[in-house]
Structure 1
Amino acid sequence: MRERPGKMRRWLPLAILILAMALGYALGWHRYLTLAELIRHQDQLDALVDAHYWTTVIGFCAVYVVCVALSFPGASLLTLAGGLLFGALAAGSMTAVSATLGAVIVYLVACSSLGGALKRRAGPATKRLASGLREDAFNYLLFLRLTPIFPFWLVNVVPALVDVPLRTYTLATFIGILPGTYAYAFLGSGLDSLIEAQEDADPGCVARGACSIDVSALITREMIAAFVALGVAALIPVVMKKWRRKHAGGAA
Structure 2
Amino acid sequence: MQKQHMLGLLALAIATFFLLDGPQVFSLDNIREHRQALSAFTERHYLAMLLACGVAYALSTALSLPGGTVLSLLLGFLFGRWVGTGLILLAATLGATAVFWLARYLLADWARERLQGHALSQKLMAGFQEDAFNYLLFLRLVPLFPFWLVNLAPAFTQVSLRTYVITTFIGILPGSFIFANLGQSLGGIESLDELFSRQTLLALSLLGGLALIPVLSKYMQPNRFGG
TM over 0.5: yes
Q: Distance in 2 between matches of 1:22 and 1:242?
A: 46
Matches within 5 A, 1:195-206: none
Q: Distance in 2 between matches of 1:169 and 1:55?
A: 30
* Distance 1:117-1:188 versus aligned 2 partners, 3 A rule: closer
Letter in structure 1 aligned against 2:166: L
Match status 1:235 vs 2:189 = no
Which ranges in structure 1 are unaligned for 5 or more consecutive residues? Answer: 1-7, 195-211
Match status 1:102 vs 2:78 = no
Asked whether the equivalents of residues 12 and 113 of structure 1 are also in contact (C-alpha less than 8 Å), the reply is no
* Distance 1:171-1:11 versus aligned 2 partners, 3 A rule: farther
Cα shift readout 1:165-188 (whole Å, capped 9, x = no counterpart): 111111111111111111011111
Which ranges in structure 2 are unaligned for 5 or more consecutive residues? Answer: none
Q: Give me the TM-score of the superposition, normalised by structure 1.
A: 0.78
SS of corresponding position for 2:96: helix
Match status 1:45 vs 2:22 = no
Q: Distance in 2 between matches of 1:80 and 1:117?
A: 29
When structure 1 is superposed on structure 2, of 17-26 and 159-168 the one drifting more is: 17-26
Q: Which has the larger radius of gyration?
A: 1
SS of corresponding position for 2:57: helix
The aligned counterpart of 1:247 is 223
The aligned counterpart of 2:173 is 178
Q: Distance in 2 between matches of 1:57 and 1:158?
A: 30
State the number of aligned residues: 220
Asked whether the equivalents of residues 96 and 178 of structure 1 are also in contact (C-alpha less than 8 Å), the reply is yes
Cα shift readout 1:188-215 (whole Å, capped 9, x = no counterpart): 11234x2xxxxxxxxxxxxxxxxx8123
Q: Distance in 1 between matches of 2:162 and 2:191?
A: 37
Letter in structure 2 aligned against 1:114: A
Q: Give me the CA root mean square deviation.
A: 2.7
Q: Aligned-pair distance for 1:35?
A: 1.4
Match status 1:114 vs 2:114 = no
The aligned counterpart of 1:142 is 137
Q: Which runs of 4+ in 1 moved over 4 A?
A: 115-118, 129-132
Asked whether the equivalents of residues 83 and 92 of structure 1 are also in contact (C-alpha less than 8 Å), the reply is yes
